[in-house]
Amino acid sequence: MKTNSIYISLVITVATLVMASFEVAAQDYYSTQLTLENINIVKDADVTNISLDINLNNLNIDKNELLIITPIVVSNSSENKKELDAITIIGKRRNRVLQRPFTYEGKPNIDIANENTLIRNNESSQLVSYTTSLPYEEWQRDAQLLISTEVIGCANCRDYEPEIIVTDRILTERFVPEYQFSYITPEVEEIKERSETYSAHLNYVVGRWDLLPGYENNAAVLAKVDDIIQELKGDNDLTISNFTITGYASPEGTQQSNLLLSQRRAQSFAKHIEAKYGYNSNQFKVEWKGEDWNGLREAIISSDLANKNDIIDIISSVSDIDARDGRIRAFDNEVTYNRILNELYPPLRRNDYNIAFVSRPFDVEEAAEVIKTRPKLLSLNEMFHVANTFPAESAEYREVFEVAAKTFPESETANINVAVTELNNNNIDAALERLEKMKDSPAAWNMLGVAYAQKDMDEQAEEYFNKAIEQGDEDALHNLQQLERYVQDK
């Protein structure tokens, strides 16, 4: 298992670690005669392991005294503190006293752990190899290792020497991954072809297709059509290229007659536009769909009909289109049918007209204004340059990418760029919700990996990083390495 550690291979003489304010010359502390070697502090999963060697070669302990060395882990930023197992160094004469089997008045009662005890032979080479461990806690990331030394004399008097700092930090700071991801610069759109679709709910005499401007509310409908076309024709930023007119009918009557009716009504509407606005037939595409059952299904789903599920079942299960209308009519003695006939059928009788146009190029200053009111006239590339006129951390910067995604909801580039802004602002859930709709897109895989990694969904993150790496994504390779280090550190 990989570990997070600080390893100090140099020999550290304790005398050099005493604080500057401590006057060594004032008193010959035993701690100054110790040398610490091979200090190794390792975090291994949920345990912090500490090992070091204490070289006693220079220690000249009074034969009647006993030296207790206690390593202590102390937080630099809180009150957390943990004393570790002590090491006891005993003078020869003191050891004989402690070994006496009988008790006597004044005999000191000292609790000594035998495994960390050594009898000092002055002027000889001796080494204490010390190892211990403690449960890992987060505060240990910012903790130092101290050595506390206590001298116990023959009369059981105790003398505490100044604490010594062995190392300022026992562990490295928690590894914080730095994932690489970036905005996608959209390609330049040489010809910006756009379109808008509108509906004209014109009224016709039953069974007829002649467009009568004065019939019922046709004048108001045609006035609205005129407003739309005149606005587009008068817009110097675009050029209308063609119209597509599509006729629809409601389901009453036969399928064949309604198909013909939708055709002729669409053609009559096209002739009206051609004559009024000076367009020729080459600029028109006329289509007809007949009965609009899809539109009826959506209308029923949105309605408050008590038995709408039964009607939807008829539409879904009856393959004979002419039989559907009859089945609906027969349902509950035509009560439901009459509501559908009067409320839901009329909007289905319409001509949809799609106006295609080409938008001119805009420089950045122009685009910054156009995006506020008519963003559809811009390309994603133009919007991208508008965004970069703002500071990357600003609300305006993020808003441009949000507008881009709303304007071009099917664009992978637009949606990935919004996800980047969400991740940069730590809105991980919002980014992930958007990116998960593009799981099959290689362009989104690295970003998906980043989003999953920041949710601590490590397996999913690794999966998408690897998929992106297979596509040659260098950022994903870096990110996988960052994830692996983070997981090891956890």
Question: Would 448 be classed as within a structural domain?
Answer: yes
Phi then psi for residue 421, to 5 deg, are -65, -40
CATH number for position 337: 3.30.1330.60
Question: Would 59 be classed as within a structural domain?
Answer: yes
Query: How far apart, in Å, do the first and last CA atoms of the chain sit?
Result: 12
Question: Would 74 be classed as within a structural domain?
Answer: yes
pLDDT in tens, 362-421: 999 999 999 999 999 999 999 999 999 999 989 999 999 999 999 999 999 999 999 999
CATH number for position 463: 1.25.40.10
Note whether 12 and 116 are same-domain residues.
Answer: yes
Note whether 345 and 416 are same-domain residues.
Answer: no
pLDDT for residue 76: 92
Note whether 388 and 456 are same-domain residues.
Answer: yes
Mean pLDDT of 98-111: 63
Note whether 205 and 340 are same-domain residues.
Answer: yes
| Residue 447 contacts residue 181 (beta carbons within 8 Å) | yes
Note whether 22 and 88 are same-domain residues.
Answer: yes
| Residue 190 contacts residue 361 (beta carbons within 8 Å) | no
Domain count for the chain, please give it. 3
Note whether 382 and 397 are same-domain residues.
Answer: yes
Question: Would 172 be classed as within a structural domain?
Answer: no
| Residue 337 contacts residue 250 (beta carbons within 8 Å) | no
* Domain limit, last residue, from 123, 152, 167: 167
Question: Would 175 be classed as within a structural domain?
Answer: no
Question: Would 176 be classed as within a structural domain?
Answer: no
Model confidence at 303, pLDDT cuts 50, 70, 90, reads very high
pLDDT in tens, 108-154: 566 665 678 899 999 899 999 999 999 999 899 899 999 999 999 86
Of 86-100, 111-125, 223-237, 250-264, which range is least confident?
111-125
Rounded CA-CA distance 436/347 in Å is: 36
Note whether 401 and 437 are same-domain residues.
Answer: yes
Model confidence at 7, pLDDT cuts 50, 70, 90, reads very low
Note whether 251 and 107 are same-domain residues.
Answer: no
Question: Would 186 be classed as within a structural domain?
Answer: no
169-195 burial, b for 16+ CB within 10 Å, e for fewer? ebbeeeeebebebebbebeeeeebebe
Q: What is the mean pLDDT of the chain?
A: 89
Name the residue with higher pLDDT: 96 or 143: 143
Note whether 337 and 454 are same-domain residues.
Answer: no
| Residue 241 contacts residue 194 (beta carbons within 8 Å) | no
Closest CA to 361 of 345, 347, 335, 379: 379
pLDDT for residue 106: 53
Question: Would 177 be classed as within a structural domain?
Answer: no
DSSP 209-265: ----TTSTTHHHHHHHHHHHHHHHHT-TTEEEEEEEEEEEE-SSS-HHHHHHHHHHH
Note whether 151 and 110 are same-domain residues.
Answer: yes
Model confidence at 17, pLDDT cuts 50, 70, 90, reads very low
Note whether 144 and 88 are same-domain residues.
Answer: yes
pLDDT for residue 104: 54
Mean pLDDT of 270-298: 90
CATH number for position 66: 2.60.40
Residue 475: domain span? 361-489
Note whether 16 and 73 are same-domain residues.
Answer: yes
| Residue 478 contacts residue 469 (beta carbons within 8 Å) | no
